[in-house]
Amino acid sequence: EPEVTQTPSHQVTQMGQEVILRCVPISNHLYFYWYRQILGQKVEFLVSFYNNEISEKSEIFDDQFSVERPDGSNFTLKIRSTKLEDSAMYFCASSGQGFRGQPQHFGDGTRLSIL
């Protein structure tokens, strides 16, 4: 069964550094999302992306964050200058085209630790 893949599985970065999290969505999917989960808390929406542009973003997704689909397969989340509070599990998800309400399929996540 097709999967969403995320790399790396764990990223350790010094505060203030830039970090790029990578995702390869399911190949025929058109809608892409990033979510984050601070340890022990609920999963929070960050941003949705469709047709090469952001369709919605949350209050968390401030100017330090950006997303890109640099080619036909990768979908990246960049954090420009990381803060301690950015430490979390980051999940990428994708869903297909067609009717509304299609389930989002999640990658295994990238655990980001900011020191």
Least Cα distance to 51 among 31, 77, 65, 68 occurs for: 31
DSSP state of 104: P
Contacts to another protein from residues 51-70, by CB under 8 A: 55-56, 58
101 binds another protein (CB under 8 A): yes
CA end-to-end distance (rounded Å), the chain: 37
Site string for another protein, 4-43 (x = CB under 8 A): ---------------------------x-x-x-----xxx
CB 68 within 8 A of CB 78: yes
**Amino acid sitting at position 66:** S
Integer Cα distance of 13 and 83 in angstroms: 10
- Cβ-based nearer residue to another protein, 14 or 99: 99
51, 70, 71, 100: which one binds another protein (CB under 8 A): 100
Q: Residue numbers of the site for another protein (CB under 8 A)?
A: 31, 33, 35, 41-45, 48, 50, 55-56, 58, 89, 91, 93, 95, 100-109, 111
